[in-house]
Structure 1
C-alpha cells in the first residue's frame, strides 16, 4: 500500500543521478471535506456555549469519533480551537492515553494501553527528529546527491511510521504539534523570500498522506488525523509568519487541557511547553522561558528524564546562540556525573540525544577528536539496539554524525565507509517496513 503511495507522490526508489528537485513532484488534490452540521445555523445561545474553550472535568457523556468530523467550512480561528477543544476533551476524558510515568509497576507490563502509548509517544518524537534530519540534509549546501537520496529514504521511513502511529488510535497527545512544527521547518529552512521546490513537494506529500488517512476507506480514522485535516486547510495559503502564529495559538488552545488533566510538571505538559517556547521568534524571549522550566525541574527531589529533556532544549538553545561553554557545562553536569550518567545510559533516547548534542558542541569548539568519541558512543549503542530490537533511529543519527565528523577532519575514506554502512541500514529499515530499499 505504501509503495503505491510513495510512487504516486514521487517518493519511490531513487537513483542518485536524479536531481533532488524531481524526486517529490506531486501536488495534493483538494478534496471537498465531508459534510457535517455547521455551527452557523445554531441558535445564539448554543453559539455562546460553543465559544468556551476551557476544559471541563470528565462528565458522564458518551464521546465518539462523530464529534471529530471536520467542519464544512474553515473560516475562523474559533473553528480550529473548538476542534482542539473537542479532541482533547474526548481523549483525556475517555482515557485514550495511559502514560508510563503514571502507571504502577504491575500496570507497566499488563496494560496494553500503557505499552502502546509509550511506543507511540516515542514515535512522535522520532518522526519529528527524522524529518528534521532529512530537511538538514536537503538544505545543507555541502550535501551530495547521495546525501539527498538518504534524506528521501529517511522521509519514506517517517511516512510509514506516521501511518502506523495514526492508525493505532493511541498516538502521542503532542504528535499533532510535532507535525505542525515539521511544516514550520519546511517553511523556515529556505533562505528568506525564496521557495524550495523540494520542501514544497515534501509539504504537499505530507498533507496528502494525512488526508488519505482520513478517507472514508478507513472505518475508524484516527482522531488526530481528522483534527489535523481540519487544521491543515489554511496551510497552502498561509505565510511563514502566519503559520508560526497559527501553530502557537493552537498550542495555547491545547495547554489548558494538559494542565487540567495532567500535573503541571508532567512529562507531556513539559513537552507541550518546550514546543511552544521554540516558536518564539526571538532567542531573547526563549531563554527566560527555558530557564524558568529548568529551575522548576531542578527544585524536584527526583532526577529523571524530565530534567534531561529540558536540559537538552536549553543546551541546544545555548549552542544555536553561540554560547558553547554554557551548552557544554549543562551536559557535562549529567554525562560526567556517576549516578546521573547511569540514568542517562538507561534511557536510549536521552543517551543518544545528549551525546550527539555534546558532539555538535565540541565540533563547534573545534575539538574534533573529543567530538568523535561522543558520537562513536551513540553509534555503538545504536548498533546494539538495531541488532537486538531492530530499532534503527539512533544508529542512523549516529552514523550521519560520525560521517560528518570524519569529513571535517579530512578522513574521507573512513567517511565513505560510514556512509555505506548507513546506506545499508536505511535499505534494511525500509525492507523491515515492507518497502523496497
Structure 2
C-alpha cells in the first residue's frame, strides 16, 4: 500500500528531535537577528529548514522570555518615543519613529496612553521612574516621505537620531512588559479583596463539603452562588448561540441582554468565585474575536462598581479596583496574566478555608483551566485530583464536582468510553446516586454529560432519553434559573434533528424560544427591543 502524506507526517513526528539547551545557545545570535524582521511562524519554519532546529511555538516563547527578547515596544521606551514624536511635531514635520530599526505604531502607543491619562502626565513631567534595568535600545525618528509610491523608503541607517540610548538615570515609564500588561495594582487588589472578605467575616463557610460560601449582610447570610452559576451558564450558552449568527444569532443576542440585565444582582451577590467566571467569559469572548463584547462586560462591571453602594456611606464596591485594572489592561491580558490572577485568588481560599475545602478545590480547578497549561498538564492535574478524591473514605459534593469536571475533560479529548465509565459508576451506585440527586444542578450536569457522550458515540436514542431526564431535573429547579433548561433544550433539538425528526425538533425549538421570552420578561425587557 502506498505511503500517504499523513503516514509520512506521523513518521516524521515520531522521529523528530526537539531542540536541546545547547542547540538554543548555538543559534541564539541567529534567532535574535532574524526575529527582528520575521514573525514567529516564519522564524520557526526558517530555523527548522535551514538549521534543523525543531521547536514548538511555546518553546520559542519560553526561550524569548529567558533571553529578554521583546518583539514589540517596551513600556520603558515609551517616554523616548513620545519625546521623539513631540520634537518632530513641534517642527511641523510628518513623523515616523523607529525602535530597533522597526517603525513604531504611534496610534497604538496613543491608545495605550489614553487609557492611562494620569500616568501620561507623570511621564511628561518626568516623575515616574522605572525600578528595573532600563532598555539599552535607541529610539530614532525621521521625516516621513510625502508619497512612498514609486520611491524607495529611506533606510534606517539614514535616520536622524533625536533620542540617545537610554541612560540608567533617565525617567522611565513603568517597568518590563510582564509588569506592564497586568499592573501590580490588579494583583494587589485581588489579594486584598479576598483577604479582606475572609478576615472581616464578610464571607462565611458553614461546612467544608457544602458547595456554598455565604455573604454576610445586615439581613443575614446570602448565597449568591446559584445566581452566579446561572449567569455564567447563560452567558456561555448565549456565546455559543452567537457563534452561529445566521441560525441562532438573534436568540444569542436576546440571551446576552438577559445576562447584562442580571449583572447588577450578580455583582451585589458577591460570590467568591465571581472573578473566575468573569475571567472565563472574557477569555472565551476574546478567543472568538468578540473583543467588543468583552470590553462591554468589563465596562459595565466597572460602572456598576464605581458608583457608591446604597447604604455604604458613599463607598464603592470592593471589586471596583479589580474591574478597572482588568479593563485598562485588556489588550495585553493573556493566559499568563489570567493564570496569575486566578492563582492569587486560589491561594487565598487555601489560606483561609483549608486545602480540602470545596471552594479551595474549585478555585484550583479554575486556576488551571484559565492558565496556558498544556492539555497534558491539565490532564495530570485533573487525574491526580480525581484519584485523590476517590481515595477518601467519604463521598460528598466535592467528589461529584471533581468527577464531573474530569469526565467532561476526558470526553473532550475523545476518550468517550472512559468518560462514560466515570459517570455511570456514580449513577449505578445507589448510595452515590442518592448524594447526586440531593444536588439537582449537579445531577443535571452528570446526566447531560453522559447524554453528550452518547451523542458523540452515535447512540442517539439513549442520548434522547438522558436529555429528557435532564430536562425534567432542570424544570424541577427552574424558578429563576433556566440556564440548565435552555442547555438541555438546545441539545435535545439537535439530537432529534440528527434522527430526522424535524417536526418534534421544531416543537422543542418553540419551547426554547418561549423560555427566552420568559427570561426577558423576568428582567423587564421586551423581546424585540433594540
Q: TM-score, structure 1 length as denominator?
A: 0.74
SS of the residue 1:252 aligns to = helix
Give the whole-Å Cα distance in 1 for the aligned partners of 2:201 and 2:412.
38
Conserved in 2, the CA contact under 8 Å of 1:319 and 1:361? Answer: yes
User: Who is 1:184 aligned against?
Assistant: 283
User: Who is 1:93 aligned against?
Assistant: 199
Conserved in 2, the CA contact under 8 Å of 1:160 and 1:433? Answer: yes
1:232-270 C-alpha deviation (Å, 9 max, x unpaired) = 3111x22xxx51111101122223211110111111111
SS of the residue 1:213 aligns to = helix
Say which of 348, 361, 375 aligns to 1:257.
Answer: 348
User: Who is 1:8 aligned against?
Assistant: none
What's the offset of the Cα at 1:321? 0.8
What's the offset of the Cα at 1:275? 1.0
User: Who is 1:127 aligned against?
Assistant: 231
- Shift of the 308–113 alpha-carbon distance from structure 1 to 2, 3 Å rule, reads farther
Give the whole-Å Cα distance in 2 for the aligned partners of 1:129 and 1:390.
13
User: Who is 2:402 aligned against?
Assistant: 310
1:305-329 C-alpha deviation (Å, 9 max, x unpaired) = 1111111111111111110011100
Conserved in 2, the CA contact under 8 Å of 1:138 and 1:148? Answer: yes
User: Who is 2:511 aligned against?
Assistant: 421
SS of the residue 2:207 aligns to = helix
SS of the residue 1:86 aligns to = helix
Conserved in 1, the CA contact under 8 Å of 2:308 and 2:317? Answer: no
Conserved in 2, the CA contact under 8 Å of 1:396 and 1:425? Answer: yes
Give the whole-Å Cα distance in 2 for the aligned partners of 1:266 and 1:102.
5
- Shift of the 112–351 alpha-carbon distance from structure 1 to 2, 3 Å rule, reads farther
Greater helix proportion: 1
User: Who is 2:487 aligned against?
Assistant: 397
User: Who is 1:161 aligned against?
Assistant: 262
What's the offset of the Cα at 1:212? 1.4
User: Who is 1:171 aligned against?
Assistant: 270
What's the offset of the Cα at 1:276? 1.6
Mapping of residues 14-413 of structure 1, within 5 Å: 75=180, 77-101=183-207, 115-116=221-222, 118=223, 120-140=224-244, 144-145=246-247, 147-166=248-267, 168=268, 170-189=269-288, 196=289, 199-216=290-307, 218=309, 219-235=314-330, 237-238=331-332, 243-278=334-369, 279-386=371-478, 389-413=479-503
Between the two proteins, the alignment pairs up a number of residues equal to 355
Give the whole-Å Cα distance in 2 for the aligned partners of 1:325 and 1:420.
34
What's the offset of the Cα at 1:345? 1.5
What's the offset of the Cα at 1:421? 0.7
What's the offset of the Cα at 1:155? 1.7
Conserved in 1, the CA contact under 8 Å of 2:441 and 2:474? Answer: no
Give the whole-Å Cα distance in 1 for the aligned partners of 2:204 and 2:259.
24
Larger Rg: 2
Give the whole-Å Cα distance in 2 for the aligned partners of 1:221 and 1:265.
33
C-alpha RMSD over aligned residues? 3.2
Q: TM-score, structure 2 length as denominator?
A: 0.61
Structure with higher RCO (Cα < 8 A, 6+ apart): 1
What's the offset of the Cα at 1:92? 1.0
What's the offset of the Cα at 1:144? 4.1
Give the whole-Å Cα distance in 1 for the aligned partners of 2:428 and 2:250.
37
Give the whole-Å Cα distance in 1 for the aligned partners of 2:346 and 2:272.
11
SS of the residue 2:306 aligns to = coil
Conserved in 1, the CA contact under 8 Å of 2:467 and 2:491? Answer: yes
What's the offset of the Cα at 1:216? 3.5
Gaps of 5+ in 1: 1-29, 48-71, 190-195
Give the whole-Å Cα distance in 2 for the aligned partners of 1:173 and 1:313.
19
Give the whole-Å Cα distance in 1 for the aligned partners of 2:451 and 2:265.
32
